[in-house]
Amino acid sequence: MSDRLDPAYARDYLTGRLTGGPRPAAVGRKFSADGAVLPAPGNTFLCHVDPASDAHAALARAQDILKAGPLADAFTFLPPASFHMTVFQGVIATERDLERWPGHLATDAAIDDVTTDIEPRVASLTLPTAFQIRPLGIFGGFSVSVSGADAEQEDRLRRTRDTLSDAIGLRAPDHDSYDFHITLGYLLRWLSPEDAETVLDTSRRAAEELPEQITLGPVEFCTFDDMHRFAPVRQLMS
């Protein structure tokens, strides 16, 4: 079982015990302390949730419960139009570590140059045209943990990650243990143990709205200027 499904792990994250940092990692990099979105350009490989689908409507209902919760001011929430599942993380300007950057490129390379380098490397890949995923619960009041709908679908996702990793020359330390998820928002400040319990209770209520299964289309290679919109460069499919 993923640690993200363990309430104790979520509690430790929400209170800051996991990192020991003064604030959640996204604050100052992706969002200001008051929740305003910050410039954070990059690229990524993802599957958008179809905005016309029942699954998207269910995710929006779950997010609405979180937004109405008593600790909602501790979070910033993403626009529903941005709902997606990341298949493979590309690069982001605010995180230029060697271990999270294509090995053949300098870590000070411009994001546009990295995108230009990646696109032809993935243009001819043969990837699945669809994925079936299963929501497992809501982590920490802001993220829907998901997995492949069955062992075959999970393997399909993992093999797709391997293919993309090999193509662009990037293999992060958490490549094999990566937890798939759909982000609904971001935590802005650490919580007291009591407030963390309140968020976990709200998360359980919101999770009752989650669909049993979500159908995703082909992987999209996307660029972004911030966390509110992910613009497709191309779809990757056979």
Label each residue of 64-79 as H, E or C: HHHHCCCCHHHEEECC
For residue 32, tell me if it sits in a domain: no
Shortest CA distance to 76 belongs to which of 10, 142, 145, 143?
Answer: 142
For residue 33, tell me if it sits in a domain: no
Shortest CA distance to 226 belongs to which of 32, 61, 25, 58?
Answer: 32
For residue 238, tell me if it sits in a domain: no
What confidence score (pLDDT) does residue 3 get? 82
Q: Which range marks the domain in which residue 200 is found?
A: 3-20+40-224
Question: The domain spanning residue 69 has which CATH number?
Answer: 3.90.1140.10
Report pLDDT digits (tens) over 80-133: 999 999 999 999 999 999 999 999 999 999 999 999 999 999 999 999 999 999
Q: How many domains does the chain have?
A: 1
| Rounded Cα gap, residues 71 and 231, in angstroms | 31
For residue 27, tell me if it sits in a domain: no
Rounded to two decimals, the pTM is 0.96
